[in-house]
Structure 1
Amino acid sequence: MTILAPGLLGASVARAAREHGAARRIVIWARRPETRLALRDQPWCNAVADTATEAAREASLVVVAAPVDQIVPLVRQIAPALSPGAIVTDVGSVKGEIVRFGTAALESRAHFVGSHPMAGSEKTGWEHGSARLFVHRTCFVTPRPETDARALETVAAFWQTLGAEVVTVGADAHDEIVAHISHLPQVLASTLCSFLAQKNLGWRNHAGGGLRDTTRIAGSDPHLWRTILEQNRDEVLRALRQYQDELHAFQVALANRDYVEVTARLERGRAYRAQFRPPPP
């Protein structure tokens, strides 16, 4: 198998594939020469290629682990070098355009099957990769109606081997889901910190666990998230409008001293939070 542009997720795929025996040979390509040099010393890859095309040649499975705005260009770049019947998947957190254009780029030579493991972190870089990152985590797999059944089965089985719980859903439905449960929380955490940054900066020295827990993901890479929000703009805007309605209703209840309504909304929030699955061990 080949992994292109490994950051946190790509390196974790390589480590997990090595640990679980999901690939006989793992070839890596990274964009920066210094990263390629460092990766040559890692025990979880067999070879580091100098070009993406070289890395993808003869691979039966290619995982494109680049930022979302670079996935389709990379798929187009490697397409001529792919073996007939090869399978290409990705780890991007937006699926609509990636699945549509990724599929078109391969035509009938190879198969594109979109993936999105819900296993990110505010940390970035291949150095933070972990073989256990995907254990008991949801991994969305997003086929199109014309997706090859064998390719879909192979990709789903691959993620299951790495410990993930596979959920198969269309790309548009995926983008609606993650706009609410992933992209909206990122916007809320980041904008809360942006708002507080305009207040007395000394206040943050007194912050307890509540603010730290609520804003942990505000430490994520802003450039990475800008591209995600750009690609899922319509769904994120829809989620933001709905959330603004909820926030306004809470504001009105508090302004009107309607503490029954305030309490009801707090209780509904607590009940929702209590039903989360336990975090992976």
Structure 2
Amino acid sequence: MAARARGTARRIVIWSRRPETRLALQKQPWCDATADTPEEAVRHATLVVLAAPVEKIIELARQIAPALPAGAIVTDVGSVKGELTRACHAAMPATAFFVGSHPMAGSQKTGWENASADLFDKRVCFVTPLADTAATHAKATETVARFWRDLGSEVSTVTPDEHDEIVAHISHLPQAIATSLCSFLAQKNPAWRNFSGNGLRDTTRIAASDATMWIEIFQQNRDEVLRALSRFQDELQGLHAAIANRDWPEVRTRLDRGKTYRDAFRP
């Protein structure tokens, strides 16, 4: 939708796993054609975007590889990049290129019905070329970066492993915290939720996200998520100790540090 609205593609062909989705997309003005197979969808493509659950992206990359035309560039939108990028790169034929990407956009809702043409506007998008392919994939990397910039994103280029460390802290850890908070409160009186204000609602919005998707993300980025959780547990234990010891200056230090960090978020 964004590519059509911003004029970045001459022709858009989409494959979806579900026949009913392919049928529905045939009626959308931003979709030129739907394909019955992934191979058919990519046969004449210059740029392929794999928008699927993390565990399916590698499978799709291997499936489409024999059908890719010479010079084709493949990217993805997976939220974990290390193992995925290396496997997809290895799956490519000698005449095609894989450069991973991850737009930090979306919500707790899934499905094309919840899409919008301005989804990527002013959102960060990571582009994650492998370090040892930086020279050979330079043009492909720039093409992928330009694609996301044309859709309105602010592009940041990092290695796949750097990406996984970053998102473990700024994306996967918040999901784990929001989910754990709701899981904890679910064991209390159910009526309490009716008293909740915006604080609880804002803090736990992403707890409504799809569980299957997040299990896959935690599996794929397990080591970095565990490191982030361990460090957060130390932080939470520090606050617990400060309150238990009536160390209010330390509590204030933590509150002020948190407020300063939150106040510095970009609009």
Q: 1:146 aligns with which of 111, 133, 142?
A: 133
1:31 is matched with 17
1:101-129 per-residue CA deviation (whole Å, 9 max, x = no partner) reads: 00000041200000000002101110111
Is the counterpart of residue 166 in structure 1 residue 155 in structure 2? yes
Is the counterpart of residue 224 in structure 1 residue 210 in structure 2? no
Is the counterpart of residue 89 in structure 1 residue 75 in structure 2? yes
Letter in 1 for 2:38: A
1:115 is matched with 101
Between the aligned partners of 2:73 and 2:215, the Cα distance in structure 1 is 28
1:257 is matched with 246
Q: 1:155 aligns with which of 138, 141, 144?
A: 144
Gaps (5+ residues) in structure 1? 1-14
How many aligned residue pairs are there?
264
> Do 2:77 and 2:102's aligned partners in 1 also have CA atoms closer than 8 Å?
yes
Letter in 2 for 1:65: A
Letter in 2 for 1:47: A
Is the counterpart of residue 72 in structure 1 residue 58 in structure 2? yes
Gaps (5+ residues) in structure 2? none
Letter in 1 for 2:218: L
Letter in 1 for 2:138: A
- Cα RMSD after superposing both structures: 0.6
Shift of 1:69: 0.4
Between the aligned partners of 1:80 and 1:191, the Cα distance in structure 2 is 43
Runs of 4+ in 1 over 6 A off after TM superposition: none
Between the aligned partners of 1:116 and 1:218, the Cα distance in structure 2 is 21
Shift of 1:230: 0.5
Shift of 1:146: 1.0
2:117 is matched with 131
1:29-82 per-residue CA deviation (whole Å, 9 max, x = no partner) reads: 000011111111111010000101100101000000001000000000000000
Shift of 1:224: 0.5
Secondary structure in structure 2 of the residue aligned to 1:270: helix
1:1-45 per-residue CA deviation (whole Å, 9 max, x = no partner) reads: xxxxxxxxxxxxxx1100111000000000001111111111101
Between the aligned partners of 1:180 and 1:65, the Cα distance in structure 2 is 23
Letter in 1 for 2:174: P
Q: 1:239 aligns with which of 210, 224, 228?
A: 228
> Do 2:66 and 2:93's aligned partners in 1 also have CA atoms closer than 8 Å?
no
Secondary structure in structure 2 of the residue aligned to 1:215: helix
Shift of 1:161: 0.3
Letter in 1 for 2:73: I
Q: Which moved more, 1:146-155 or 1:184-193?
A: 146-155
Q: 2:44 aligns with which of 50, 58, 66?
A: 58
2:193 is matched with 204
